[in-house]
Amino acid sequence: MSRLLVAFFGLLLSWQALAAELIVSAAASLTNAFRELAPFFEAQNPGVKLQFNFGASGALLQQIAKGAPADIFASADQETMNQAQAQGFVKADERHNFVSNTLAIVVPSDGGNTPKALNDLLQAHYKRIAIGLPATVPVGRYAKSALEKSGLWSAIEPKIIGAQTVRQALDYVARSEVDAGFVYATDAAIMPDKVIVAFAIPTDTPILYPIAQVAASTNHAVGQKFVAFVISRQAQVVLAKYGFGKP
Amino acid sequence: MENAWIALSLTLKVAGWATALNLVFGVAIGFVLARKRFPGRDLLDALLTLPLVMPPTVLGYYLLVLLGRHGPIGGWLQENFGINLIFTWQGAVIAATIVAFPLVFKSARAAFEAVDPQFEQAARVLRISEVAVFFRVTLPLAWRGILAGVLLAFARATGEFGATLMVAGSIPGKTQTLSVAVYEAVQAGQDNVANFLVLVTSVTCITVLLAAGRLAPGRIAGQP
C-alpha cells in the first residue's frame, strides 16, 4: 500500500522533462497518417517528441489565436490558413501545400440506400445527413458550397446534422445514426467495413492541405525539420497509403 | 443574439424536463433507499451515484451505444414505435436527467433519513393511511432538503455539455443548448456571441444557486 502511495505521488510530481517537444496542431483528417509518421520523424531526430493536437482546422486556428503553444499548423483548406496568415500567425514564405484530398459522400454499409447523385439526397429515406459545421470544419464548407452550387443547400439544410470534426461525421455514418455524410475520401478509407463511398464530389477549389510553422513558435529549428519531413518522399509515401493525393 | 435566446429557451426546456423527471424518480428512489432495507441497497446507491463521478463523455458514450440505432434500447424503440432519440431534444433530456439524477436522490435520501419517525408514528396512531402519512407528514418535513437538491439538479442539467453533445449533437434551434452553443462560438472565433452566451449562462446559474442556498437544510426557521 505504501509503495502504491509513493508511486501515486511520484506520478503527481513527474513533470515531462523531455528535451524538445514539438506541438503539431493538425486537421482531424490527418490523424491516422500523422500518427504513423511520428515514429519515423522521432527516429530521425533523437530527443524530439511530437505532440499532436487534432481537431477541426477552424477550431485549431482559434486555439492558436488565443495563444495555444502550437509549433506547427496543418489545416485541411487554404481558407483557414489564409486567415492565419492574415492575422500574422504564420508567414507566407513558411507555408507549403503538402497533400490533396477528395470530397466524398458516404453511407452506412448496412443502410441499403446508396445515392447516385447529389439530387438523390432529397429523397425521403435520407432523413439525416452529417456534415462538418461549416463555421469551423473545412469539409463542411466544401460540402456546403457543393450543395449550394447544385442549388440543393436550402432543401437539404433541415436534414443536416452538424459535426465538430470530419471524424465525428464519419463516426455518425459508421454507427448508422445518419443516412449519409460528407467526408474526405481518406476518412472513408479508414472504416471500409462500416461505410461505403457512394461517389466523389468534384469541388470548385481543389482540396489542398497547407502546413506552416506558427510564427510564435520557440522551436523554429525543429519545426522547419518537421515541415521538410512532411514534404519529403518518405512521408509522402505514407500519406499516399492513406489515400492523400499529391499537392 | 437571437440564437442565444433560442439556445436559452431550449436549455430551460431540457433542464426543466430533466428536473421534473428527477423530481419523480429521485424522490421515489431516495425514499426507498432511506426507509427500506434490502440486499444490494449499498450497491444500488453506488450505481445510481455513478453519473456524479463518471466523466460525462463516458455517460454520453454509454447512452449513444444503448440508445443508438444499433443499440438494444434504441433499436427496440425504433422497431416498435419508430422513436429515435439520438440528435433530438428528448435525447438531450435523457442525458441531462441521468447526469443530474444523483443530486436529487442523494439529497432526497438524506432529507428522508433526517425526518423523525416519531411524527410518522403519531400520524399512524391517528389511523392515517400510509399514503397520506407520506404526503402529509414525511414529504412536507423533507421538502426543503429535496428542493435544494432539485435546484442543484436543475443547475447541473442547465450546464450539461459532454453527454448532451454526444447524444444530441449540436443542431441550432433543436438540440443546441447554451453550453454547446458557447463551445461552438469559441471554436468558430465568434467571441461576441460567446461572451453574451457565457453571461446569460452565468446569470442563470447564479440565480439557481442563490435560490438553492436559501432552501438549504440546516437553516433555523426565522433566520433569513
Give the chain B residue whose CA is nearest to the CA of A110.
B70
**E strand residue ranges, chain A:** 20-27, 48-55, 72-74, 90-101, 103-108, 129-132, 160-163, 180-184, 195-201, 207-214
The ipTM, to two decimals, is 0.74
pLDDT of residue B174: 85
- Mutate: best of A63, A80, A161, partner B, most B CBs <10 A: A161
Grid cell, residue A180, equals: 449519409
Please report residues of A whose CB lies closer than 8 A to that of B184.
Answer: 133, 135-136
Within this chain, domains A2-100+206-241 and A102-201 share the same CATH topology: yes
- From CA B17, how far away is CA B154, in angstroms rounded? 9
Who among A136, A160, A176 is closest to B187 (CB)?
A: A136
When pLDDT is averaged across residues B101-105 and rounded to a whole number, the result is: 95
pLDDT number for residue B159: 87
Instruction: Look up the pTM and report it.
Output: 0.81
- Please answer yes or no on whether A162 and B169 come within 8 Å at the CB atom: yes
Domain membership flag for residue B189: yes
Q: Supply the CATH classification number for the domain A102-201.
A: 3.40.190.10
Helix (H, G, I), strand (E, B) or coil at A227: helix
- The residue-averaged pLDDT of A214-218 equals 92
* Residue from the list B69, B70, B171 with its beta carbon closest to the beta carbon of A161: B171
CATH 3.40.50.720 for the A2-100+206-241 domain, yes or no: no
pLDDT in tens, B122-180: 999 998 899 999 999 999 999 988 998 998 899 899 989 999 988 988 888 888 999 99
Which cell goes with A40?
519515423
The verdict on A128 touching B (C-beta cutoff 8 Å) is: yes
In-domain check, residue B222: no
For chain B, what percent of residues have pLDDT higher than 70? 95
Q: Residue B95 carries which DSSP code?
A: H
Whether residues A175 and B188 touch (CB distance < 8 A) is answered with: no
Q: Which residues of A touch B64 (CB under 8 A)?
A: 175, 177
Show residues of chain B in contact with A163, CB under 8 Å: 169
Per-domain residue ranges of chain A: 2-100+206-241, 102-201
Nearest CA in chain A to B78: A177
Expressed as residue numbers, the domain containing B135 is 2-215
> Which chain B residues are within 8 Å of A56, Cβ to Cβ?
187
Is residue B12 scored above 50 in pLDDT?
A: yes
**N- to C-terminal Cα distance for chain B?**
37
| Predicted confidence (pLDDT) per residue in A128-145, tens digit | 999 999 989 999 999 999
What is the distance of C-alpha B127 from the center of its chain?
36
* Tally of structural domains, chain B: 1
Asked if A164's CB is within 8 angstroms of B188's CB, the reply is no
> B223 lies in a domain?
no
How close A237 gets to chain B, by Cα (Å)? 33
- Alpha carbons A38 and A22: distance in angstroms, whole number: 11
Query: In this complex, do A162 and B187 lie within 8 Å of one another by their Cβ atoms?
Result: no
| Residue carrying the nine cell digits 452529417 | A130
Each residue's pLDDT tens digit, A157-198? 999 999 999 999 999 999 999 999 999 999 999 999 999 999
CATH of the domain at B209: 1.10.3720.10
Grid cell 477549389 is found at A205
The interaxial angle of helices A78-86 and A57-65, nearest 10 deg, is: 10
